Structure 1
Amino acid sequence: MKKIILFLVWAGFANAQAPAGYYNSANGLTGASLKTALSSIITNGHQDKGYGGLWTGYKTTDIDKNYENDGSILDIYSEKPTGTDPYKFTPGTNQCGTYSVEGNCYNREHIVPQSLFNEASPMVSDINFIRATDGKVNGMRSNYPFGKVGTATFTSKNGSKLGSSASSGYAGTVFEPIDEFKGDVARMIFYFVTRYQSKLSTFSTGNILGSTTFPGLQTWELNVLLAWHNQDPVSQAEITRNNASYTYQGNRNPFIDNPGYANQIWGSQQPSTDTQSPTTVTGLTLPSKTSNSISLSWNASTDNVGVASYTIYMNGSLKTTVTSTSTTISGLNPSTTYNFYVVAKDAAGNSSTNSSTVSGTTNAGTSTPSTNCVNETFETIPANSASYSTRTWTNGGITWTATDARTDQTISTKAITVREGSLKSSSSANGIGSLTVTTQLKFTGSNGTFNVLVNGVTVGTIPYSATVATTTISNINVSGNVVVSLENNSSSDRVAIDNLNWNCYSGTAKQSVSSLEKSEINDLQIYPNPVSNQEIFVKGETQNIKKAEIYNLQGKVMQTIYQPFKNSRNSLKIKNLEQGIYILKLDNSTLKFVLQ
């Protein structure tokens, strides 16, 4: 059961707001059968609001609420996630119109060109795949398919490119959005070939579409889109748009609600897989060193579809995996020489040859060696992104998971910014004595605190405000393997976290009331099981349980209840869950149940 919960925490499924039971008829299906079931689901309820209605729809669906959050149009062809946008569009005021250069006006961009279906309804006005984008860039994209650009003939102000294809299986002209929106594009096209699968035989292919219901896409394009879908997970901006589109039009994009559908339908169906490896990493250098760390930097590798990650090897053994072109390896010994090389990997699992090996020696240490067990500087977090989603990375042997988090804010250098979520470590040996961390409230909000938990038990709080502050919680004193998490007590404050470390503790752990309670609840049981009437009865000591979480088997948190047994010692009410198998997590205990 412990392994199941680890999977659930890692899965990081987007928490979009589909109605209860919306996807029931798709349960248990795969391949073409799943695609057909989803087609039926998203066809029912679809209201065609007309081509002109898109302008009205965009006032709720395409508003920037996740980057600048300034009420302007969120344009995937001009948005700069980590910098200042080159221009902004006011909803309604800046509709095209005529244009000659970028920034003149925004248009209605059919991600699947409308010429492929002769501008027929309801496709021509389906907001789930028609985005508000800059008129000039929309015109340059024209009817070209999406793919990896080799040599660019046009580059938009945010880096979107038009040019010759570097994607395996296609040699024509393609259009490539920036990395931040590649998954968005893929999931819109997946929506189109699912929603309109019964009409595909009457459409032109445009080197994009297939002519049959399954797989529904050209093989080369399917390979590109699956890679993009896996490289760029669902963002909060997509979830927000999907919910607004459902309100406007009455149907949803299932690949945003349940990203796993894409690989369940097409993942094992690709007639030809990507077998081309990324190029060898060059330019590996060691720009800085301390007595216990060495920083690495290298040039980006290239690939026919896209580089997904870089693995760093130290003294011949895998040390960490990152998505950026730099990292810092911590926890090293003073005055010691280490050898490093880097390998690039793509989404299909192809690996480049090893880079050249570079050697570096750490600086001499002081007379008092470091006692830190963990020293996280956040230099190896995923690439800068202003969207909120689950972020994972590994550094110094610890894997970190940050939920509802963005990666573009800084304190000293890089930092992880958590909104309505938490930062959690994997298991670390050698215990924890005292913990130190730096925080800062970003954007607007109020002063508040994070709860600090060790093995699920609260050991203290960390305050935050608009002023950078470093806080230490002393005498935690828990020995053995520890999992440390910081949980935001606010549902809206955006708090940057940096320079988190704790020292080892090998003494006798304090025997607290909380730890006694934790040992007592190992014998919890759900009865009866299966569960009915949306109420779970639990046998065992429940009085001091602080939090209940219900997960589905895809890793999505379905419900969170704080102080779940406050009103009843042996039961808790759940809300609108459909029939199926779930996991109930009560603090650190986990129980599986079936809901009738």
Structure 2
Amino acid sequence: MKLKLLFLSTIFSFYVGLSQVPTGYYSAASADGYTLKTQLKNIITNGHVDQGYGALYDAYKTSDTDSFYENDNSVLDMYSENPNGTDAYNYQHGSRNCGNYNSENDCYNREHIFPQGFFNSRSPMKADVHHVVPSDGYVNGRRSNYPFGEVSNASWTSQNGSKVGTNTFDNFSGTVFEPIDEFKGDIARMLFYFATRYEDEVTSNSWDAPNASESNPLNGTNDQVFENWYIKLLYKWHTNDPVSQRENVRNNEAFKFQGNRNPFIDHPEYVSQIWGSVLATESFLSLKDVSVYPNPSKTNRITISTPDTVQITSIVLFSVIGSKIYETKNPKLKNQKISIPNLKTGLYILRISDANSSLTKKIIINN
């Protein structure tokens, strides 16, 4: 037992070392559902210091520098970054801040992932680095106040593949903005942060009221915050694009800058713990009967077992820093089971998907 606890402690310390969470930071987060959300709100409100809108450009020098793709120390902009090749253009910190723009690559500015028009540009929301990111000015303008969504026929596409068009996800048919897959999870966790940090403000009469326009995804409550379709979309993106090393670095730098953290980067499981009731009522957790064992595992393998009614389309295993360790698509199961062998000691994130949903689990291997 002592060896097991020592191992778990070592793994936890390794994980925390990557994200640099202060000891005891989440000790008051002990509940589930919206009570947990309020506990997290109290944690991330305490210590949050509004550094001002103008200070964001300085913050981006450490929070949003490309040390992950081209590794050229340029501004890491989710709306222009090409993760699989050379960027069409890039910006250097401290130069070409907007300003006027007429096309892409004119200048970069500050993009509010939750549009500031909905909260009348009030503080501290306006300058909260956890949801205000550097962005090409023209793409930022094309995104406008549209909610995020998924687009099949784009009316406009950026040079890195971000799109504007009619939403095809779930039952919302308005205009949306779709970023590239690489950053969908990042954006989802930023919006879950916003819904948590500002749960006391989102129902204020001074905010853009729900249904005042098709662009506003607020549902009028301070517990759920977003409409059902938006929760489903963000959860899908959150599970399909797990926390990356880039997000951990950004979270650490944001903490240094303004004194609080994004809990959904440090603890991705909080999303389903808080909004699980919404996801369950929408039949979005269709993989809930899938089991993974042993976990923790004392061998070098895990086994995935599914009921006959579940048709797995993909299984992906990531390391704790987001590297893909294993992937199989449309696997052939024997007796509704499949094993992943030859795993080294460590902490992993497992993502299992069917045609409609994904399930994410934390896996511990203790050989």
TM band (smaller chain): 0.7 to 0.9
**Which residue does 2:326 correspond to in 1?**
393
Decide whether aligned partners of structure 1 residues 554 and 19 sit closer, same or farther in structure 2, where only a CA change above 3 A counts.
farther
Decide whether aligned partners of structure 1 residues 247 and 381 sit closer, same or farther in structure 2, where only a CA change above 3 A counts.
same
Corresponding residue SS for 1:42? helix
Separation in structure 2 between the aligned mates of residue 50 and residue 172 of structure 1, nearest angstrom: 33
The one of the two structures with greater contact order (alpha-carbon pairs below 8 A, sep at least 6) is 2
Residue 262 of structure 2 is aligned to residue 253 of structure 1: yes
Corresponding residue SS for 2:110? strand
**Which residue does 2:93 correspond to in 1?**
91
Separation in structure 1 between the aligned mates of residue 327 and residue 363 of structure 2, nearest angstrom: 20
* Correspondence for 1:123 among 122, 125, 129: 125
**Which residue does 1:152 correspond to in 2?**
154
Structure (1 or 2) with the greater helix fraction: 2
Counterpart mapping for 1:63-74 below 5 A? 63-74=65-76
Counterpart mapping for 1:283-294 below 5 A? none
Q: Which amino acid aligns with 1:266?
A: W
Contact kept? 2:51, 2:258, Cα under 8 Å:
yes
Separation in structure 2 between the aligned mates of residue 212 and residue 26 of structure 1, nearest angstrom: 21
Counterpart mapping for 1:107-506 below 5 A? 107-202=109-204, 203-204=207-208, 205=210, 206-270=215-279, 272-273=281-282, 388-394=321-327, 426-427=340-341, 483=342, 485=344
Decide whether aligned partners of structure 1 residues 484 and 51 sit closer, same or farther in structure 2, where only a CA change above 3 A counts.
closer
Separation in structure 2 between the aligned mates of residue 269 and residue 257 of structure 1, nearest angstrom: 22
Contact kept? 1:148, 1:167, Cα under 8 Å:
yes
Contact kept? 1:148, 1:175, Cα under 8 Å:
yes
| Amino-acid identity (%) | 47
Separation in structure 2 between the aligned mates of residue 381 and residue 222 of structure 1, nearest angstrom: 23
Separation in structure 1 between the aligned mates of residue 153 and residue 226 of structure 2, nearest angstrom: 25
Separation in structure 2 between the aligned mates of residue 113 and residue 155 of structure 1, nearest angstrom: 20
Contact kept? 2:316, 2:328, Cα under 8 Å:
no
Aligned residues: 311
Counterpart mapping for 1:30-109 below 5 A? 30-109=32-111
Contact kept? 1:223, 1:274, Cα under 8 Å:
no
Structure (1 or 2) with the greater strand fraction: 1
Deviations 1:393-421 (A, max 9, x none): 25699xxxxxxxxxxxxxxxxxxxxxxxx
Separation in structure 1 between the aligned mates of residue 173 and residue 343 of structure 2, nearest angstrom: 50
Deviation at 1:70, TM superposition (A): 1.0
Q: Which amino acid aligns with 1:238?
A: E
Separation in structure 2 between the aligned mates of residue 382 and residue 105 of structure 1, nearest angstrom: 38
Residue 22 of structure 2 is aligned to residue 19 of structure 1: yes
Deviation at 1:76, TM superposition (A): 0.3
Deviation at 1:268, TM superposition (A): 3.1
Deviation at 1:38, TM superposition (A): 0.2
Separation in structure 1 between the aligned mates of residue 162 and residue 70 of structure 2, nearest angstrom: 19
Separation in structure 1 between the aligned mates of residue 310 and residue 345 of structure 2, nearest angstrom: 36
Deviations 1:173-221 (A, max 9, x none): 0011111000000000000010000011113244322321211111110
Separation in structure 1 between the aligned mates of residue 201 and residue 107 of structure 2, nearest angstrom: 33
Deviation at 1:381, TM superposition (A): 9.9
Q: Which runs of 4+ in 1 moved over 3 A?
A: 1-6, 12-15, 349-352, 380-383, 394-397, 483-487, 553-557
Separation in structure 1 between the aligned mates of residue 94 and residue 139 of structure 2, nearest angstrom: 19
Separation in structure 2 between the aligned mates of residue 197 and residue 13 of structure 1, nearest angstrom: 28
Deviation at 1:33, TM superposition (A): 0.7
Contact kept? 1:219, 1:272, Cα under 8 Å:
no
Contact kept? 2:81, 2:160, Cα under 8 Å:
yes
Contact kept? 2:228, 2:278, Cα under 8 Å:
no
Decide whether aligned partners of structure 1 residues 252 and 20 sit closer, same or farther in structure 2, where only a CA change above 3 A counts.
same
Contact kept? 1:193, 1:209, Cα under 8 Å:
no
Contact kept? 2:190, 2:262, Cα under 8 Å:
yes
Contact kept? 1:99, 1:136, Cα under 8 Å:
yes
Separation in structure 1 between the aligned mates of residue 99 and residue 178 of structure 2, nearest angstrom: 25
Separation in structure 2 between the aligned mates of residue 180 and residue 153 of structure 1, nearest angstrom: 21
Corresponding residue SS for 1:174? strand
Separation in structure 2 between the aligned mates of residue 174 and residue 57 of structure 1, nearest angstrom: 28
Q: Which amino acid aligns with 2:178?
A: E
Q: Which amino acid aligns with 2:75?
A: I
Deviation at 1:270, TM superposition (A): 3.1
**Which residue does 1:526 correspond to in 2?**
none
Corresponding residue SS for 2:279? coil
Decide whether aligned partners of structure 1 residues 214 and 122 sit closer, same or farther in structure 2, where only a CA change above 3 A counts.
same
Contact kept? 1:42, 1:252, Cα under 8 Å:
yes
Contact kept? 1:226, 1:267, Cα under 8 Å:
no
Deviations 1:210-255 (A, max 9, x none): 3212111111101100010000000111111110010011111000
Provide the TM-score with structure 2 as the length reference: 0.76
Corresponding residue SS for 2:159? coil
- Structure 1 gap ranges (5+): 278-320, 322-348, 355-379, 398-424, 428-482, 488-552, 558-584, 589-596
Contact kept? 2:316, 2:327, Cα under 8 Å:
no
Separation in structure 2 between the aligned mates of residue 484 and residue 18 of structure 1, nearest angstrom: 27
Decide whether aligned partners of structure 1 residues 171 and 103 sit closer, same or farther in structure 2, where only a CA change above 3 A counts.
same
Deviation at 1:267, TM superposition (A): 2.2
Deviation at 1:31, TM superposition (A): 0.4
Contact kept? 1:129, 1:188, Cα under 8 Å:
yes
Decide whether aligned partners of structure 1 residues 484 and 183 sit closer, same or farther in structure 2, where only a CA change above 3 A counts.
closer
Deviation at 1:17, TM superposition (A): 1.1
C-alpha RMSD of the superposition: 3.6
Deviation at 1:555, TM superposition (A): 5.9
Q: Which amino acid aligns with 2:73?
A: G
